[in-house]
Amino acid sequence: MKILLLIILGVTPLVSLDYRISAKLDTEKKTVTGQEQIVWKNERDAPATFLVFHLYMNAFAGSETVFMRESGGRHRGFGFDRNDLSQFGYCQVMGVRVNDRDRISAFHGLSTLKNREKYGVFWKNEISYGIGADDTLAVLELDEPVPPGGEVRLAIDFETKFPRIFARSGYSKSFFMGGQWFPKLAVFEGANGWNGHFYHLHSEFFADFADFSVVIDAPSEFVVGATGVCQAEVRQGRRTRWTFVAERVHDFVFTAWDRFRVAEDRWKNVRLRLLYQPGNRSTVARQFRALKAGLDICEYLTGVAYPYPHFTLVDVPFHGAGAGGMEYPMLVTGIPFSPFYPESFFIADSVIIHEFIHNYFYGILASNEFEHPWMDEGLTSFATSLALEKYYGRYITPLVYASAFDLDAIGMHQYRGREFPMKAAWEFAEGYGTMSYNKPSVFLKTLDNLVGRETLRRVFRTYFERFCYRHPRPEDFFTILRETAGGQAADLFERGMETDTRVDFAIHSVHSENLAERTSINYDPRSFKFEKVEPPVRGKAVHRNTIVVGNRGDFSLPVTVRAVFKDGSTLDFHWDGGSGWKRFQFMSEVPLVGALVDPGQVYICDQDLTNNAKTIKKQTGWVFRKGAAALAAMGVLMFSVYSLLF
Ligand SMILES: [Zn+2]
């Protein structure tokens, strides 16, 4: 597979991390006990004097962890019972050997670590928000530093107790979603130290690429799915050992349920596997269709063929819905599917598309999701809406006149705060969803309209050519945008992400006078008198029209201003948007009835669309206003459903 990757992507593999895990799932106690062997090579130019681990399941080890304090025990509308002790979870490390020497006494969770300052600054910013520290991070002190180019071998014994699922990972009845379940190394950034963060309410994950070989030992009646390719399935008595191998991925997830049904399909060279709920057989084709739409849009947009040989889609049960709508390498979960979803209402389909697309932005590029959540969620949301538009039709349902991008825009316009996307996940007190998902999508769609699809595809192709497996940062995307789409597009997008500056065009006023029906009054200084003057009328063009258009936003952007006449004909003007406002005055045969700014809706990022049109006659204005209000109300309703589900 590595040779294939080299040919496709033309980059050198950088994998210097290897995990071998043997894990036994106890479906009664809801635990997994594991032995983990890690080989880590220091690829940076500074020595590592200690190692940092994520023990994510400690987010559920009590009610006072960072995650629990931030979430109050609820996530995306799902919660759990904080009085039921059996619903909590943990990840406990029982043994650590470094190059075969026992070092368990040098392994400390952050909550009890003394002299935390000694271990770098990676967690300081978070603690400054008054969040506190917990054991979702741990430090292993080394008795000898790992020099640049040096290697360390670790053997870790651990036990993870899954929480009752409400946030991504855990158990529900006999269903298991094993996400973030094993001690995982943070990312060493050389002189900058370790990049690791607490498990926060909003934050997702960041890790180095690694090769995994994982054995999951579970009761034989369970169906097991995981990151990677299943290489062996060995039954011993009432239990089975499944061996999964994955190369160059930055996480490893598994799922197990004794009620899963299995379906298989193919897309080009990729084997597709669907683990679905009993009773959902009739939805199999529909779920695969959504998955293929995701595969296809990614190849179309990035020019990169899906680089892994296998992909698993998980249709989670309703009672474990908190595990739904989540991405992992080579495996994602949709929201619970149902044969009762009408074909024309494709929210569940869109979640499958969205989660698959993450396998490109989160999976192959692997930006830092803690620090730049918008880079993954925002670009993924844009590609999702593009896929819905391309493969599912312009409108979300035949009943609601709103496209996927309209919903993104409505989501963005609903937000009235001053947040902006370029923040770390824990720096959002509000607006995380709007800023990480909607705003980048809406701004990218604006670029799509402004510079054209082919230019935008070149941006994405270049982004993937340069940064596959390389953890790109915001400036990497901005640089490519500037090189490929030009300074104006890059400025708009960059400032859109870094600030709360706005785009807002408006029609200030529209007037039309029939000069044949009126005379002007003039003061004549020679006679000290006022006099009536017939205005100059050229041919039949007796209507003198005035449109005043304003730029109430923070950007100088070119825009079209459209005059609409009584007979339905139109006349377009071009404005560079440079001054605060501009007056267009012109004569016409037919009276003017109204004006629009940006009639093609290039700027779907326009903060206030209700001021983009104005009519002269009051009745028409009423129709315009009520129409817009009805549309907005439907949009808000749709968006509420949409945001609940995501
Ligand atoms: Zn997402």
For 409-425, what is each residue's pLDDT tens digit? 989 988 888 899 999 99
Please, which pLDDT band fits residue 644 given cuts at 50, 70 and 90? very low
pLDDT, position 260: 98
| 442 Cα: distance to centroid of ligand 1 (angstroms) | 15
| 328 Cα: distance to centroid of ligand 1 (angstroms) | 11
Question: Between residues 641 and 467, which one has the greater pLDDT?
Answer: 467
* pLDDT (tens digit per residue) in 298-342: 999 999 999 999 999 999 999 999 999 999 999 999 999 999 998
Burial of 2 per CB tally in 10 Å (0-12, 13-18, 19+): exposed
pLDDT at 8 exceeding the cut of 50:
no
| 210 Cα: distance to centroid of ligand 1 (angstroms) | 22
Percent of the chain with pLDDT over 90: 72
| 508 Cα: distance to centroid of ligand 1 (angstroms) | 39
Please, which pLDDT band fits residue 642 given cuts at 50, 70 and 90? low
For the record, the structure tokens of 260 come out as: 């899963």
Kindly state the helix (H) or strand (E) to which residue 476 belongs, with its residue range.
helix 474-485
Tell which residue, 384, 379, 368, has the closest CA to residue 334.
384
| 434 Cα: distance to centroid of ligand 1 (angstroms) | 12
pLDDT at 620 exceeding the cut of 50:
no
Residues 6+ apart with CB under 8 A from 56: 91, 136, 169, 180, 181, 184, 199, 205
Please, which pLDDT band fits residue 221 given cuts at 50, 70 and 90? very high
Tell me how far apart the alpha carbons of residues 597 and 432 are, in angstroms, rounded to a whole number.
31
| Average pLDDT rounded to a whole number, residues 83-100 | 95
Between CA 330 and CA 339, with CA 335 as vertex, the angle to 5 degrees is 115
pLDDT at 586 exceeding the cut of 50:
yes
pLDDT at 95 exceeding the cut of 80:
yes
Average pLDDT of the chain is: 90
| 538 Cα: distance to centroid of ligand 1 (angstroms) | 61
Residues near ligand 1 ion, CB 5 Å cutoff: 377
pLDDT, position 619: 45
pLDDT, position 635: 54
Pairing between β-strand 17-26 and β-strand 210-219 as defined by DSSP bridges: parallel
pLDDT, position 564: 97
| 377 Cα: distance to centroid of ligand 1 (angstroms) | 5
pLDDT at 622 exceeding the cut of 60:
no
pLDDT at 124 exceeding the cut of 80:
no
Tell me how far apart the alpha carbons of residues 225 and 310 are, in angstroms, rounded to a whole number.
11
* pLDDT (tens digit per residue) in 332-375: 999 999 999 988 888 899 999 999 999 999 999 999 999 999 99
| 76 Cα: distance to centroid of ligand 1 (angstroms) | 12
pLDDT at 621 exceeding the cut of 70:
no
Residues 6+ apart with CB under 8 A from 315: 274, 275, 276, 277, 280, 283, 287, 333, 334, 336, 337
| 358 Cα: distance to centroid of ligand 1 (angstroms) | 7
| 502 Cα: distance to centroid of ligand 1 (angstroms) | 25
Residues 6+ apart with CB under 8 A from 493: 443, 444, 447, 478, 481
| Average pLDDT rounded to a whole number, residues 10-25 | 79
| 392 Cα: distance to centroid of ligand 1 (angstroms) | 19
| 291 Cα: distance to centroid of ligand 1 (angstroms) | 15
| Average pLDDT rounded to a whole number, residues 396-420 | 83
Please, which pLDDT band fits residue 633 given cuts at 50, 70 and 90? low
| 31 Cα: distance to centroid of ligand 1 (angstroms) | 28
pLDDT, position 2: 40
pLDDT, position 628: 54
| SS3 at position 320 | helix
Please, which pLDDT band fits residue 74 given cuts at 50, 70 and 90? confident
pLDDT at 581 exceeding the cut of 90:
yes
| 374 Cα: distance to centroid of ligand 1 (angstroms) | 10
Please, which pLDDT band fits residue 10 given cuts at 50, 70 and 90? very low
